[in-house]
Amino acid sequence: MIRCIGRGIRSRIFPRKATFCSSVDDTAKARSIERKNVLRFSVDRSGLPESMAINEELLGNKEELTPLGKELRTLIQLKGPITLHDYMSHLLNHGIHGYYHSSLDKIGEKGDFVTSPEISQLFGEMLAVWCISIWEQLGRPKKIKFIELGPGNGTLMEDILKVSSRFPDFHNSLHIYMVELSESMQKNQQKKLQCGEMSIENRIKSFRSPLNKNKISWYQFFNQIPIDDTPSIIIAQEFLDVFPVHQFAFTPKGWREKLVDLDTSSDSTYNFRIVLSPNATPASMSLLNKNLYETSELKEGDSVEICPMALATVEDIVKVVAGPGKGAALLIDYGETFTQEDSIRAFKKHKQGSILSEPGLLDVTADVDFGMLSKCAVKKGASVHGATTQGEFLLRMGIIERLKQLIDLDTTSDAQANDLVKSMKMLVDQSHMGNRFKIMSISHNSLQVPGF
Ligand code: SAH
């Protein structure tokens, strides 16, 4: 059935700049694969008064502090080392200098990293096929909440809307909710979706777009969207990896948390360093006791990484899809089905850097722990499908058939056909994004979910 829908999709290549300049091609992979061990840690000596004093002479070989770096330095001087989680949270979400609030180009050739929707329209088309299949199972409702979490440049939503306009009943049922924290990213998305004049009701911004007959609304937080009995489809493509993580190490004295302290030594050019908390912390005491993580098998020297915001988002997703309205969510990200020790990475201009370097100017990301998210969703009463690899999912959804269909078009040039094949391989091949990227669905128990 799904393949039939795939064949019905209007055959057209959406104009997209070829993104295969080698550095971009490499980062799509690298952002998900390389894990240089950038974090070294030592024992926290912040209790000692001299650690407050900064020997300015030693700062000569240090990287120049960014505005956010200066704020973090003051914060740590005043209150002592902060958790890695809080440090990462500042790097990404600080109201003025946080990476996602800045006007820096982030996604695409000119930015720091590239994502699947930016690589090929085939990605959005396969997701559209999935959404139509879920909508059919929901009984072809006249109104559906179509929620995208972290829509980036708006490319995925644009591709889904363009391709699904061929299925008017589905297309007209869509009431689109974009969840985006950053004002500047919201503006990019509104431009991409050709939004016209804005209207504001109850502080919610919505716009008319030529791409859909219903208004498109923007929210900063997912849990601001009211829950009612309208069915929902939720897409979270490279969204869960933006949340800060805690890291804990199992020491002879018990669990200790990784913190960020100032580095005034001459051994490093960075102004910050990772240290271990001298005692248990509130997060180590609460998060390691949640039954989501089996700590009894761990031994001294092991570390774990936990992302509470990803767990909280999954709980919110379950409230929507397993609630009275029913629905399904698709989560796509790089990650594993098990808990890792340290997967934090930083990127700037398609090159990997250190999370201790240039606070606020680098994209900082961590792998998604699909195993833990799956346990959490089941515990809260939803069905979970997968996680499977992105490659397998796209093949099951009919990406090869769609590729052939596009190549066979009279209007497709040889160069376009070559680009289509290259981009399909990039999305599906095990050696590129096909294996490291996983896809998992969380749904109402009554739904049969395709692709798994
Ligand atoms: N889905 C897009 C973008 C991925 S990047 C793609 O695949 O191309 C992550 C996106 O989430 C960006 O749009 C970023 O601005 C947004 N974002 C980051 N932190 C967020 C948060 N806490 N809440 C909502 N959106 C956030």
DSSP 159-200: HHHHHHTTSHHHHHHEEEEEE-S-HHHHHHHHHHTT---EEE
* Cα-to-centroid distance, 54 and ligand 1 (Å): 36
| β 303-306/246-251 pair status | antiparallel
Q: Is the pLDDT of residue 239 over 60?
A: yes
pTM over 0.85? The answer is: yes
Cα 176 from Cα 147, distance rounded (Å): 6
Instruction: Determine the atom of ligand 1 nearest the C-alpha atom of 179.
Output: 24
- Which range is least confidently modeled, 132-141, 198-207, 385-394? 198-207
* Cα-to-centroid distance, 157 and ligand 1 (Å): 13
Contact 339/83 with Cβ under 8 angstroms?
A: no
For residue 329, give the 3-state DSSP assignment.
strand
**Could you tell me which residues come within 8 angstroms of residue 399 by beta carbon, excluding any fewer than 6 positions away?**
122, 126, 424, 427, 428
Q: Which helix (H) or strand (E) holds 437?
A: strand 437-443
Q: Which of 122, 127, 117, 129 is nearest to 6 (CA)?
A: 129
How confident is the model at residue 23, as a pLDDT?
54
**Could you tell me which residues come within 8 angstroms of residue 447 by beta carbon, excluding any fewer than 6 positions away?**
134, 137, 138, 326, 328, 383
For residue 137, give the 3-state DSSP assignment.
helix
Coarse DSSP helix, strand, coil percentages of the chain, rounded to the nearest 5 percent: 40, 25, 40
Task: Burial-class residue 387 by CB neighbours within 10 Å (0-12, 13-18, 19+).
Answer: buried
124 lines ligand 1 (CB under 6 A): no
- Give the mean model confidence (pLDDT) for residues 323-347: 95
- Winning range, highest mean pLDDT, from 28-42, 189-203, 380-394: 380-394
Query: Which pair of structure tokens corresponds to residue 230?
Result: 């309208």
For the beta carbon of residue 352, count every other beta carbon within 10 angstroms: 18
| Mean pLDDT score across all residues of the chain | 89
* Cα-to-centroid distance, 200 and ligand 1 (Å): 22
Instruction: Determine the atom of ligand 1 nearest the C-alpha atom of 106.
Output: 5
State how far the alpha carbon of 170 is from the alpha carbons of 4, 141, 144, 423, in Å. 15, 8, 9, 27
Cα 256 from Cα 260, distance rounded (Å): 13
In the block, tokens 């989501």 appear at: 292
How confident is the model at residue 203, as a pLDDT?
87
How confident is the model at residue 104, as a pLDDT?
85
Contact 170/138 with Cβ under 8 angstroms?
A: no
Q: Is the pLDDT of residue 220 over 50?
A: yes
Tell me the best of 110, 160, 242, 427 to mutate to test the pocket of ligand 1, counting ligand atoms within 8 Å of each CB and taking the most.
242
* Cα-to-centroid distance, 152 and ligand 1 (Å): 5
| β 345-348/327-336 pair status | unpaired
Contact 263/76 with Cβ under 8 angstroms?
A: no
Q: Is the pLDDT of residue 150 over 90?
A: yes
Cα 222 from Cα 284, distance rounded (Å): 27
Q: Which parts of 220-301 are beta strand (E)?
A: 232-237, 246-251, 254-262, 272-276
Q: Which of 111, 137, 101, 170 is nearest to 449 (CA)?
A: 137
Contact 387/438 with Cβ under 8 angstroms?
A: yes
In the chain, the percentage of residues whose pLDDT exceeds 90 is 79
How confident is the model at residue 45, as a pLDDT?
46
* Cα-to-centroid distance, 240 and ligand 1 (Å): 8
Q: Which of 218, 230, 243, 237 is nearest to 321 (CA)?
A: 230
111 lines ligand 1 (CB under 6 A): no
Query: Which pair of structure tokens corresponds to residue 171?
Result: 């297309």
How confident is the model at residue 7, as a pLDDT?
41
